[in-house]
A and B are shown apart, each in its own frame.
Chain A
Amino acid sequence: MGHAASCHSLPVARDSAAMSDWTLERLTVRVFEILRDELLEVTGDFTPGSDLVGAGLDSLAVTQLMLAIEESTGVWVDESLLTPENLETSETLAACVHEQLQQA
């Protein structure tokens, strides 16, 4: 029964760096790469500006992405920030995470 989310059991590659090293650009690339290479099934035209839900982003993929971000940056993204607007593209998601990093 049940198929609210798909499980991708591959471990997400880590990229540890100090919190201050995470510029918006670097974070955007990191988020984009995790989504493209490890969490979503996307074609070659997937870009940092592509629609994520349309590309198959689901609740589990988001949680796994948040885990990878926490591993990398040490910050757990507040779930209340995971709005449709913030999860629209890799760019908007990275901007949201970056903003929280700035406040951490």
Chain B
Amino acid sequence: MSHAASSAIPLTGADCFLRAFDDEVRRRAGASHASQLVLRLGPGFDLAAFESRLAEAAAAHPILHAPIRRRLGLGAPAYRLDRARAESAPKVRVHPHLEGRSLPDLFFARMNEPFRAERGELLRVDVVPRPHGTDLAMTWLHMLLDGAGSEAFVEWLESVHRGEREVTELPPDDVVTSPGLPAGLTFQQRGRSATAWQAWMASMAEPCPRSLAGPLADLRQDLRYDLLTLPEAETERVSERARQKAGFLTPMLFYLACAIRAHDAIFRERRLDPGAYVVPLPVNIRPKGSEHAIFRTRVSLLWFRVLPEQVRDLDGLIGELKRQRVDAIKAGRIEGGVIAMDFARWAPKRVYAHMARRAMKGELCSFFFAFTGEFAGGIDRFFGAPIENAFHAPPVPTSPGSVAAISLRSGRLNVSHVQQAGMLSDRERELFQHALRADLLGES
């Protein structure tokens, strides 16, 4: 299925959630809420073929460069496919390899440049040849693709390159109007569910979380990230430890617990009261049969809240997170989140961000977290080059100013800790990495 038949595709509720924070970042921090993935490729990358396929993809799927607007300024915002202009199509910039220049610096800069979404500027690619390979960073306005969608896009593009599918052919369910919205509920039922979800969210604010960046302030966005890559042997140990401590189907709770404790190490170092640790865990809401849907954000959020005294013991913390996860699923919080966010599609974006900030006294949460499992596990090569490593660098507003993203690729665990520059001292960044490693590996 392709987008060609539609003139507009509505944003999902989760897209609108991100759009509200994109607006906030734009107004207050002079940037965009843009996510990035990095592919570290071995030799053999076919740049010309990649550029050609990307251009074909943009022509076949104008959502890749469609302006995001409300029709006549009313209704839910949508990708206006009929207004997509060729000059806004994703561009590939090739940079010379510069000896001595830190590669991430270039990629950091890309995350901090504003996207002109109103003109359909939604995705950029940067390519940097190395002596024996290529680094590729894809940076996009986060509402265009979620983490799973970005990996699905990479895999889809590779499958087009290999001739396994036509460029017009998208995975099933890619163009449905309201992906993830529970079917068969009356308006009243949806209203009750959304209200219950909001009440649940409000309960997270007592005591109020405190982020390392502190409450929202006008500050130019300057994101950077530290990447921790564990070798295969250590990754095996960590994965086994995650399975043992959190269960083999819910390793994300082990990683979340480790991330909470790494943040807690800094709070303790600063002798600051973190209030409660309140952290959202994105949950993929792709239904069966559309696991590889690419475009738009298809997530709900499970929120966790633990008090500082519950953080001291790793096993106790994991047990608490497990309990909260099951309780939240039993109470229908995943569906409730989808419904609540769907209602917000009609709300002005500033109202949405304002409501969220007001509930948490200027904060959103303690930090962002994501565990995305195996990164693009369906492919081992990309346009002729072996994938040596790959990871996500998700965005974060300047408050909370910190996001930990964990994924696996080729038997190695990657932790990218994206943070507002200057928010942590060098010593605190080291402390974070040290505390994280210690919990991941079980080393004191």
B399 interfacial by beta-carbon distance below 8 Å: no
Among B182, B283, B322, point to the contact of A2 (Cβ < 8 A).
Answer: B283
The count of chain B contact residues (Cβ–Cβ below 8 Å) is 40
- Rounded to whole Å, the gap between the CB of B251 and the closest CB of chain A is 8
Instruction: State whether A7 touches B285 (Cβ < 8 A).
Output: yes
Among A56, A57, A60, A79, point to the contact of B283 (Cβ < 8 A).
Answer: A60
Q: How many angstroms from the CA of A5 to the CA of B334 in the assembled complex?
A: 11
Interface string of B277-309 (1 = CB under 8 A from A): 000011111111101000000011000000000
Q: How many angstroms from the CA of A82 to the CA of B322 in the assembled complex?
A: 13
Given known contacts A2-B299, A60-B283, is B334 in contact with A7 (CB within 8 Å)? Answer: yes
| Set of chain B residues within 8 Å of A40, measured between Cβ atoms | 288
Given known contacts A8-B288, A59-B250, is B148 in contact with A2 (CB within 8 Å)? Answer: yes
From 34 to 68 in chain A, residues with beta carbon under 8 angstroms from any chain B beta carbon are 39-41, 56-60, 62-64, 67
B139 interfacial by beta-carbon distance below 8 Å: no
Specify which of B35, B282, B288, B300 lies most central, judged by the most chain A CB atoms within 10 Å of its CB.
B288
Instruction: State whether A2 touches B147 (Cβ < 8 A).
Output: yes
Q: How large is the interface on A (under 10, 10 to 19, 20 to 34, 35 or more residues)?
A: 20 to 34
- Show 21 residue pairs from A and B whose CB-CB distance is below 8 angstroms, ordered by the A residue: A1-B146, A1-B372, A1-B405, A2-B148, A2-B281, A2-B299, A2-B372, A3-B148, A4-B250, A4-B281, A4-B284, A6-B286, A6-B287, A6-B291, A7-B286, A9-B287, A60-B334, A62-B249, A63-B329, A67-B330, A82-B248
Instruction: State whether B147 touches A3 (Cβ < 8 A).
Output: yes
- Rounded to whole Å, the gap between the CB of B440 and the closest CB of chain A is 17
B373 interfacial by beta-carbon distance below 8 Å: yes
Instruction: State whether B284 touches A7 (Cβ < 8 A).
Output: yes
Instruction: State whether B283 touches A4 (Cβ < 8 A).
Output: yes
Specify which of A1, A40, A79 lies most central, judged by the most chain B CB atoms within 10 Å of its CB.
A1
- Rounded to whole Å, the gap between the CB of B354 and the closest CB of chain A is 23
**Other CB < 8 Å A-B pairs besides A1-B147, A41-B288, 18 of them?**
A1-B146, A2-B371, A3-B284, A3-B299, A4-B284, A4-B371, A4-B372, A7-B180, A7-B284, A7-B335, A8-B288, A10-B183, A40-B288, A58-B249, A59-B252, A60-B283, A82-B249, A84-B248
A87 interfacial by beta-carbon distance below 8 Å: yes
Chain A contact residues: over half helix, strand or loop, or mixed?
loop
A102 interfacial by beta-carbon distance below 8 Å: no
Instruction: For A80, give the chain B residue with the smallest CB separation.
Output: B247
A20 interfacial by beta-carbon distance below 8 Å: no
Instruction: State whether B247 touches A82 (Cβ < 8 A).
Output: yes
Given known contacts A63-B329, A79-B322, is B35 in contact with A4 (CB within 8 Å)? Answer: no
Instruction: State whether A7 touches B326 (Cβ < 8 A).
Output: no
| Set of chain B residues within 8 Å of A103, measured between Cβ atoms | none
B392 interfacial by beta-carbon distance below 8 Å: yes
Instruction: For B185, give the chain A residue with the smallest CB separation.
Output: A9
Instruction: State whether B372 touches A60 (Cβ < 8 A).
Output: no
Q: How many angstroms from the CA of A62 to the CA of B372 in the assembled complex?
A: 18
Instruction: State whether A6 touches B372 (Cβ < 8 A).
Output: no
Instruction: State whether A6 touches B288 (Cβ < 8 A).
Output: yes
- Rounded to whole Å, the gap between the CB of B128 and the closest CB of chain A is 24
- Rounded to whole Å, the gap between the CB of A46 and the closest CB of chain B is 12
* Total of A-B residue pairs, C-beta within 8 Å: 102
Given known contacts A6-B287, A6-B291, A40-B288, is B373 in contact with A1 (CB within 8 Å)? Answer: no
B338 interfacial by beta-carbon distance below 8 Å: yes
| Set of chain B residues within 8 Å of A79, measured between Cβ atoms | 247, 322, 326
From 236 to 288 in chain B, residues with beta carbon under 8 angstroms from any chain A beta carbon are 247-250, 252, 281-288
Instruction: State whether A41 touches B373 (Cβ < 8 A).
Output: no
Among A1, A9, A41, A59, point to the contact of B249 (Cβ < 8 A).
Answer: A59
Instruction: For A59, give the chain B residue with the smallest CB separation.
Output: B249
Instruction: State whether A87 touches B249 (Cβ < 8 A).
Output: yes
B77 interfacial by beta-carbon distance below 8 Å: no
Q: How many angstroms from the CA of A13 to the CA of B284 in the assembled complex?
A: 22
Instruction: State whether A3 touches B288 (Cβ < 8 A).
Output: no
| Set of chain A residues within 8 Å of B148, measured between Cβ atoms | 2-3
| Set of chain B residues within 8 Å of A87, measured between Cβ atoms | 248-249
Q: How many angstroms from the CA of A58 to the CA of B248 in the assembled complex?
A: 10
| Set of chain A residues within 8 Å of B405, measured between Cβ atoms | 1
Instruction: For B300, give the chain A residue with the smallest CB separation.
Output: A7
B66 interfacial by beta-carbon distance below 8 Å: no
From 353 to 412 in chain B, residues with beta carbon under 8 angstroms from any chain A beta carbon are 368, 370-373, 392, 394, 405
Q: How many angstroms from the CA of A95 to the CA of B81 in the assembled complex?
A: 53
Q: How many angstroms from the CA of A8 to the CA of B334 in the assembled complex?
A: 10
- Rounded to whole Å, the gap between the CB of B16 and the closest CB of chain A is 16
- Rounded to whole Å, the gap between the CB of B150 and the closest CB of chain A is 9
Given known contacts A1-B392, A63-B326, A79-B247, is B373 in contact with A39 (CB within 8 Å)? Answer: no
Q: How many angstroms from the CA of A64 to the CA of B371 in the assembled complex?
A: 20
Given known contacts A6-B286, A9-B335, is B370 in contact with A1 (CB within 8 Å)? Answer: yes
| Set of chain B residues within 8 Å of A1, measured between Cβ atoms | 35, 146-147, 282, 299, 368, 370, 372, 392, 394, 405
Q: How many angstroms from the CA of A62 to the CA of B289 in the assembled complex?
A: 17
